[in-house]
Amino acid sequence: MTATRVLVLNSGSSSVKYQLLDMRDSSRLAVGLVERIGEESSRLKHTPLNDGGASRERTESIADHAAALQAVAEELAKDGLGLDSPELAAIGHRVVHGGQSFTEPTVVNDAVLAEIERLIPVAPLHNPANLTGIRTARALRPDLPQVAVFDTAFHTTMPESAARYAIDVETADTHRIRRYGFHGTSHAYVSRATAELLGRSPEDVNVIVLHLGNGASASAVRGGECVDTSMGLTPLEGLVMGTRSGDMDPAVIFHLMRVGGMSTDEIDTLLNKKSGLIGLCGDNDMREIRRRIDEGDERAKLAFDIYIHRLKKYIGAYYAVLGRVDAIAFTAGVGENSAPVRKAAVAGLEQLGLAVDDELNAVRSDEPRLISPAGARVAVAVVPTDEELEIATQTYALVEA
Ligand code: ADP
């Protein structure tokens, strides 16, 4: 029997998200989530999709990632999808930071684990949890290939002119300070899917990808390769996000320390968790913000306007970086669902060949689709992202090779 299943694991500090896919047809066999790991009332939600079974929930104390994965394995086994099955080909892990070391998906061995560990200083929140996930999965199935798929990998093609900050080179190199970019798996998937939607090969197409979720980033992709992206050393740089400020004068930080008397941790929390849309208006869900705007709420309107202003600046900047743009692709929670954001982002850019057709923009669908008027110079598209499928595809391609 050929092994055609891939388990995709996305391990956070207190959660594990998973999907089991069959790579013969890229179908999902099961999806689920373990939350509040290490707390009294952890929760596991498991949905088998192979034979139309209903979702199951477990609420119990799940002490650590090992216990979480064990619980996931038990649930999968109930549906005949156990992790001991010979049909399982590999486990693909989302790893947030691969630094400059990892430009491609990589089969995990001890040296790879050591390198991911070495990168913890540049990804203190994410890499430790990702490592725990890999180590746990390895202990469970030591014989199985484990593949690390890095959020930063797609951006390693950025030229030095885009990847370097204009700071003292030695200081930057000592501390590995440069622009790495994140959401790479999504930018890779969406830029390819956009070329496909246009019926062209990725090598022939220049795309601006706008990944607008709770975290948000833009990228400029020339002929399938990333040439610039809006996130930097960490995911804090760039667009206005749900709870992150995005771009700002770095001197704001000195000011908050010197004049505001704030500590490093307090400022970190302020900029990462209490800024962006939530800091501006108290809500980070675009649906709620639109509802408030419809009721005449001025704060919500200002938050929306600041969000759109920044987005437009990046569209203009990446237009200039690429020189020729074939398509702009909106993706992730806001990009896929918010017609007002898409309309406002390209409003007034007709001179750049950009426009949205209101009727097409209003269509709700899970499929990639064009929303620009027929004959437009630049295609404007909505392209749902699928990071799990991309991780599974890259993982399977590597173990099949
Ligand atoms: P994450 O960054 O957490 O992966 P998602 O890509 O799932 O985020 O996006 C989540 C965000 O998408 C929500 O915070 C919300 O602002 C937005 N969103 C989800 N559904 C809609 C919708 N129907 N209309 C507008 N915005 C939406």
pTM of the model: 0.95
Residue 36 in this model has a pLDDT that exceeds 70: yes
pLDDT tens column, 163-172: 999 999 999 9
Whether 17 has a binding-site annotation, put simply, is yes
Q: Which structure tokens are listed for 239?
A: 């667009």
Which pLDDT score, from 0 to 100, does residue 74 have?
Answer: 93
Question: Tokens 């004959």 map to which residue?
Answer: 375
pLDDT of residue 1: 63
List, in sequence order, every beta strand (DSSP E) within 39-170.
Answer: 42-48, 56-60, 88-95, 106-107, 146-150
How many A from CA of 124 to the centre of ligand 1?
25
Q: Is the CB of 333 under 6 A from ligand 1?
A: yes
Q: How far apart are CA 19 and CA 87, in angstroms?
A: 15
151 is catalytic: yes
Is the beta carbon of 337 within 6 A of some atom in ligand 1?
yes
The dihedral formed by the CA atoms of 115, 119, 124 and 130, expressed in degrees to the nearest 10:
-40
53 residue type, one letter? G
Predicted local distance difference test score (pLDDT) of residue 68: 93
Q: How many residues does the chain have?
A: 401
323 labelled ligand-binding? no
Atom of ligand 1 nearest to the CA of 341: 25
Which of 138-142, 167-171, 179-183, 257-261 is the least confident region? 138-142
Question: What is the pLDDT averaged over residues 133-155?
Answer: 94
Q: According to CATH, where is 3.30.420.40 located in the chain?
A: 5-150, 200-387
Query: The CATH number of 5-150 is which of 3.30.365.10, 3.20.20.70, 3.20.20.450, 3.30.420.40?
Result: 3.30.420.40
If 0-12 CB within 10 Å is exposed, 13-18 middle and 19+ buried, where does residue 296 land? exposed
CA atoms within a 13 Å half-sphere pointing along the CA-CB vector of 229: 33
* 53: phi then psi, degrees, rounded to nearest 5: -65, 160
Top-confidence residue, 230 or 51: 230
What are 351's two structure tokens? 């001179």
In this structure, are residues 152 and 226 in contact, taking their beta carbons and an 8 Å threshold?
no
Classify domain 200-387 by CATH number: 3.30.420.40
